[in-house]
Amino acid sequence: MSAHRLRIAAACLCALAVLAFSCLPLRSAQAAGSGTGFAPLARACAPNVDPDTLAALVRTESGFNPYAIGVVGGHLARQPASLDEARATARDLAARGFSYSVGLAQVNERNFAKYGLDEATMFEPCRNLRAGGAILTECFARSSGTGRATQAALRAALSCYYSGNFTTGFSSGYVSRVVASAQRNAREGGAGPIPVVSDTPPPARQRRMDAAATTPPERARRLPSSAASADPPSCHARRVVMMCRGLGASQAKRLCVKCLDE
């Protein structure tokens, strides 16, 4: 395959983004490529492929899981949770003769040697994306050389990426899934960060603040009556002379009252 044909293919790959986002506002389409951390990685590691195109492919292939492993003719009981676990699983699959694909772009083990991947590098996001981008670019160069229109060639290239030919990706629904992933990326803004859940309880002060924010307000306190809250009369004025009828001496003194019935 000539370098000229590869350059043409690379220049045309961005058309997939136009296809995928044709029914969505331009602002949403741009967000999928520039609103997340994936786009800079894609541009740096697979510069021949539009980031929106690569994001749609990666969502379909691995769900943005760099440790993902797919087994041809089967599947893992669960996906690896760490790099060490991913490498151990890949070694076991290779020893048992399975055909398998790894990483963000799900590069198949048959392509490792061609694209410079090995046990140490197959799960590296940048190396994996570079290999996936090269495979897709070559597939597009092949499909565009068959006389297909650009959009049809793009779909055929996706089928080629999935199966090595221009038909199986259509019959299996893979091509439709990639387009649907592109539309989902546009709506959601691409791959977002996973939130962190703390394993330790919050400090006591924070717990009190949280409790105060969620506890219903207390009933309003009763206002003191005017009799209880009023200041006692000044004893510098003339005392009031009255029948106290049981009023205690201390109360009479406080109220500046002279009791006639003392």
| 60 inside domain | yes
Of 153, 168, 188, the residue at which a domain comes to its end is 188
Angle at 126 between CA 1 and CA 103, to 5 degrees: 90
Of 127, 162, 188, the residue at which a domain comes to its end is 188
- Residue 36: name the closest of 175, 194, 158 by CA: 194
Model pLDDT, residue 26 = 31
CB contact burial 5-35 (16+ within 10 A = b; e otherwise): bbeebbebbbbbbeebbeebeeebbbbbbeb
Q: Does one domain contain both 163 and 33?
A: yes
Q: Does one domain contain both 162 and 98?
A: yes
Domain count within the chain = 2
| 223 inside domain | no
Neighbours of 51 (CB within 10 A): 23
Q: Does one domain contain both 153 and 44?
A: yes
Give pTM, 2 decimals.
0.63
- Taking 50 as the pLDDT cut, the residues of the chain under it are 15-35, 213-233
| 207 inside domain | no
Gap between the Cα atoms of 19 and 15, Å rounded: 6
- Domain of 94, CATH number, reads 1.10.530
Q: Which two tokens stand for residue 93?
A: 């699959």
| 62 inside domain | yes
Long-range contacts of 232-239 (CB under 8 A, 24+ apart): 232/256
Q: Does one domain contain both 23 and 142?
A: yes
Model pLDDT, residue 36 = 55
What domain range includes position 152? 3-188
Model pLDDT, residue 254 = 67
| 34 inside domain | yes
Q: Does one domain contain both 172 and 236?
A: no
Model pLDDT, residue 27 = 34
Model pLDDT, residue 154 = 87
Gap between the Cα atoms of 48 and 133, Å rounded: 7
| 244 inside domain | yes
- When computed from its CA atoms, the radius of gyration of the chain, rounded to whole angstroms, is 37
- No. of helices (H) and no. of strands (E), the chain: 13, 5
Model pLDDT, residue 89 = 98
Of 172, 188, 204, the residue at which a domain comes to its end is 188
Model pLDDT, residue 221 = 40
Model pLDDT, residue 55 = 94
